[in-house]
């Protein structure tokens, strides 16, 4: 009995299989690119997005250092530096090292009203985000600044007073 090989058919199937595989690969690539293009902007992509995200993160803040770090990252360099100075002063006074984001305490954050609308007025690298509530008197403007490739909330924290020294002390 003579067995016949059919190399022509197998060879004909391989290019077709490769074509199908290539088509699937192209379709998957296009789908991946489309989903990447349609993904949400990061919260710091717009000033109102940064403020909205900061409010959401501060609401979640219940003493967890990771939550405090997430909120801290949305603050402007000026606000972060202020909190770092406060943490350094606290650490020096108590002898316990404390991270700057730990200076954001949950007990100090309380909304005056429930935000309903956020709108931003942008002027170069600065913006004012207008937050409005339900009632006419429920309105506040929050300054933002564009730095580190994103919008940051520029919370105005009071300046630290100078360190007081006892007369005649070398400290």
Domains and their CATH numbers in the chain: 47-153 (3.10.450)
Asked if pLDDT for residue 157 goes beyond 90, the answer is: no
Question: Taking a C-beta distance cutoff of 8 angstroms, is the pair 151, 52 a contact?
Answer: no
pLDDT at 108: 60
Q: Is the pTM of this model over 0.75?
A: no
Name, in order, each residue with C-beta under 8 angstroms of 107's C-beta and a sequence gap of 6 or more.
Answer: none
CA–CA separation, 143 and 129 (whole Å): 6
d(CA 108, CA 68) in angstroms, rounded, equals 13
Model confidence at 24, pLDDT cuts 50, 70, 90, reads very low
Taking alpha carbons only, the member of 149, 169, 163 closest to residue 43 is 149
Q: Which of 48, 106, 51 is nearest to 75 (CA)?
A: 51
Top-confidence residue, 154 or 112: 154
Share of the chain above pLDDT 70, in %: 72
């Amino acid at each position: 009995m003579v067995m016949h090989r059919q190399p022509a058919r197998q060879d004909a199937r391989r290019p077709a299989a490769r074509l199908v595989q290539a088509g699937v690969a192209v379709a998957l690539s296009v789908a991946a690119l489309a989903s990447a293009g349609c993904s949400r902007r990061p919260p710091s992509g717009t000033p109102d997005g940064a403020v909205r995200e900061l409010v959401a993160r501060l609401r979640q803040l219940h003493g967890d250092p990771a939550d405090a770090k997430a909120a801290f990252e949305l603050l402007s360099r000026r606000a972060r530096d202020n909190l770092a100075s406060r943490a350094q002063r606290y650490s020096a006074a108590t002898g316990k090292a404390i991270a700057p984001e730990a200076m954001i305490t949950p007990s100090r954050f309380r909304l005056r009203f429930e935000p309903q609308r956020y709108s931003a007025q942008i002027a170069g690298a600065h913006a004012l985000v207008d937050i409005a509530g339900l009632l006419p008197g429920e309105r506040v403007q929050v300054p933002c600044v564009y730095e580190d490739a994103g919008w940051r909330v520029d919370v105005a924290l009071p300046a630290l007073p100078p360190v007081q020294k006892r007369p005649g002390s070398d400290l």
